[in-house]
Structures are given as C-alpha cells and as structure tokens.
A and B are shown apart, each in its own frame.
Chain A
Amino acid sequence: AQSVAQPEDQVNVAEGNPLTVKCTYSVSGNPYLFWYVQYPNRGLQFLLKYITGDNLVKGSYGFEAEFNKSQTSFHLKKPSALVSDSALYFCAADPGGFQKLVFGTGTRLLVSP
C-alpha cells in the first residue's frame, strides 16, 4: 500500500533556530511530493512541491524541502524559525500524477519565543 510517514508527532524549536520536519514515503514509481500547512480551524495551505529536477525545492514563507530518492525522503526545512510558523504540517505524495494525494499523519511544529 502507498503510504507517507511523518515520524515525529511534534517538533519543538526556538525562534531563530533552524527547523526540520521529517517525511519519508513508500510509493511506487516517481511520485510528486508536497508539503501543506494547517493553522488552527483552517484548511490546508500549499507550501511547496517536488515534481522533478533540482532536489532542493523552495516554497512559501521561506520554507524549502530536500528530496532524497535513495532514502525516499522529503524533509521540510527552514533556516530560521518564527513563532508564527507554529502550525500542523502535512507531507503528501501523489503516486500517479492524478492528484489523489496520500497524506502523512501530520507533525505539529511549536516554535517558542
């Protein structure tokens, strides 16, 4: 079965420090990969995607993600965290290119002042 794993339920980081939110996938073929963010009582918002090409993808709000095919990972990163980055982050994979996304369980990011 196709699956996306986010091994950490919560990531805590101090403001100004770099952050990493981990994601690995078990999906056949060459999937398209996404990161979404969800703020309280809101829908998900697109952050960035990897389709093909450069393994480092840049997205909204200073976030970037690194694709590693050999490790089947797509970790989300940001050089300097902000308190306002605190939210729930979802990694997702599209196995067939038809936008039937498979989502991970989500990682709560808490940035402390």
Chain B
Amino acid sequence: NAGVTQTPKFQVLKTGQSMTLQCAQDMNHNSMYWYRQDPGMGLRLIYYSASEGTTDKGEVPNGYNVSRLNKREFSLRLESAAPSQTSVYFCASSEYAGANTGELFFGEGSRLTVL
C-alpha cells in the first residue's frame, strides 16, 4: 500500500518555466490537498479538493493552478515559476469530506528550486 505518491521528488526550474507536480493516492480518499512548507512558516494550504470534480483556494493560491483529474489524482501546476515559489510541496489526502474531520496522510514531498 503506497499511500500518497508525489512526483517528481526534486526539480530545478528557471524563472518563467512551467511545470506540474503530480500526486496520487491509493486509499480511496475523498479529499486531497496541496501545501507548501517554507522555513519558519510551517505549512500553508495552496489548494484543496473536497471531492472529485471540485477544487478551492487555500491560503496562498496565487501563481498556482490545480486539477482533480479523478478520485486518485490531484496535480499542481506552476504556469510561470518565480523564485518565491522555491519551496517543499506536500500533497495530502483524507478520508473525510464536508463537516467531518479526519487525519491527513502526506506524501514525502517535492523539493522545487526556482533560479
């Protein structure tokens, strides 16, 4: 049971380039999330998807787009990368949706550097 899988694990981009971070979960979870982790700032929510076919903005959505391709997959796209987007990105999923709260299951992270 792989849990939450993120690809790639490492990526270096030049300013202005685009890329997509892929995330897949095999736990049949309804909700999926993208967070970024920066030193001294903890984790901040970029986008989330409460269920297949729905997405919504989190705390720091600017410069990002997402696609909930199906129940398993939730991708994060940087259309024109900026140095401020250098960060470690985490995908997470959860069994619950709506008003119920369960624990989040995290992937191992994708380290992105924008030069």
Closest chain-A Cβ to B25's Cβ sits at a distance in Å of 12
Which residue of chain A has the shortest Cβ distance to B98 in the bound complex? A98
Within 8 A of A (CB), among B90-113: 90, 92, 94, 96, 98-109
- Considering only CB atoms and an 8 Å cut-off, how many residues of chain B contact the other chain? 30
Q: Which of A42, A44, A90, A98 contacts B99 (CB 8 A)?
A: A98
Asked whether B40 is an interface residue with its Cβ less than 8 Å from the other chain, the reply is yes
- Beyond A42-B108, A90-B42, A106-B42, whether A97 also contacts B90 by CB under 8 A is no
Asked whether B41 is an interface residue with its Cβ less than 8 Å from the other chain, the reply is yes
Closest chain-A Cβ to B100's Cβ sits at a distance in Å of 7
Asked whether B76 is an interface residue with its Cβ less than 8 Å from the other chain, the reply is no
Which residue of chain B has the shortest Cβ distance to A34 in the bound complex? B103
Q: Would A99 and B102 count as touching, CB distance under 8 A?
A: yes
Q: Which of B31, B43, B44 contacts A99 (CB 8 A)?
A: B31
28 residue pairs from A and B, CB less than 8 Å apart: A36-B104, A41-B109, A42-B109, A43-B92, A43-B106, A43-B107, A44-B43, A44-B104, A46-B103, A46-B104, A49-B103, A51-B101, A90-B42, A94-B101, A97-B100, A98-B50, A98-B98, A98-B99, A98-B101, A99-B31, A99-B48, A99-B94, A99-B102, A102-B59, A103-B35, A103-B42, A105-B40, A105-B41
